[in-house]
Structure 1
Amino acid sequence: MKKFQPVLDIFYIILIYAWLCFNIIVLHQILSESDVSIPTVIVAVNNILFIVVYVILIRVQIINILEAIKTEDIDYCINNYFFYKYTLMPIMLIGRGLPVYICLFGVGAFFLVFLLPFVIITWPFIIGMWILLPVLLVCTTVIELPCFILTICILDITRKQKKMTFERSSMHFILQLIPGIDLIDGLHISTKYWNKGRMLARITLICVAVSILIGILIDLFSRFVK
């Protein structure tokens, strides 16, 4: 199945984003109380089909990854790791960043209510967000599952072949859980230990620098216009 892996990887990404877009549209229609709505049966069937196809794809991917671990195929692990990291980056940033924001907002509102009692009116909203928090974390984890397993694969092979210490591999594992930092850490591992991904690291650095520059220019322009 490895020879079909690139096709399966691309199909997996398309499936994830298509499913998310479909459910966002459904949620938008529900919240906006639109006259045009997708029938409940179609929504249910779509989600059931997604789950079935997802389980099949994830099973095949896990089998291939476990085979790569057994044969210590670091090229397969690194290539697929970066493929998932870059293609799933929006989901990872939102899925991991939003829970942090919700937690901080909830804690801030809890203490702020002692100074500004009227803030208590936001508590129903905060409680609702806290209820959705586990769902968001579970969905994000499930979507990121191939990348998570590949991370373990890379660290395990690097520890065996490149004599990476347990402490350092543990540190890298923790860094892989932090949005944004995980990609930088992955590039560091691939370039330092395996001499791979140098061009990718340069391109990423250039893109980040250009994005920051554009953001600064937009901010300055908006202030100048005002």
Structure 2
Amino acid sequence: MKDVYVLGIGQTVFGKHEDLSTNDLGAHAALAAVQDAEISPKEFQTAYCGTMYSPATSVQSILIRLGVDRIPMYTVENACASGSSAVHLLYRDIALGAYDVGIAVGVESLSAFHRKFGKGLLWIESDLEGEQGLTMPSFFAKICNRLMEERGATIEDICYPSVKNHKAGINNPYAQYKKEVTVEEIMNSPMIVDPITVLQCCPQSDGAAAIILCS
């Protein structure tokens, strides 16, 4: 297998972008990655786009904005792992020697999704589990409860990832939130699914990131 290198990266600010479509966001991130890599988009030999709530041809719609067509392009849907799955597949292609350079984009616009379909529990409410109330926070709450029961984790332990992530956002110009929170604030915020509180839940957001890999 070949060694794979990061040639360029780009992303948008994450937050509410009600004036931009999913494809606009993806194109902004892709263009930023191209500028970082200092190459022409015409050098791409393949492209992937990870997205959950966008059309199956999202990658084509994004890349055509950069003047790229007539190369193998794939849209990947894998829930919260859609973007990382796109990167994994691009890495695999280049490592195996199928291509020398390509781009992977991860993008989502929940503002655009809600404009089209309204607000609700999104896709999971259509599953049997969702109909019975097992939403995404419920899945993570079950994991936390199991960690506490079987591994001795405490409520405070469960809060620390949120403390860490909020702190990381302070100096990140692309972060949606830039405010530190304490364990006490997390524990005292409204309960969503025991033991998960609102300050442990990810916000609904619009944004995109892109990476260019090469051999």
Smaller-chain TM-score range?
A: under 0.3
The TM-score normalised by the length of structure 2 is: 0.23
TM-score, normalization by structure 1: 0.22
Structure showing greater relative contact order (alpha-carbon pairs closer than 8 Å, 6 or more residues apart): 2
The structure with the greater share of residues assigned to strand is: 2
**Going by fraction, where is helix more abundant, 1 or 2?**
1
Larger CA Rg, structure 1 vs 2:
1
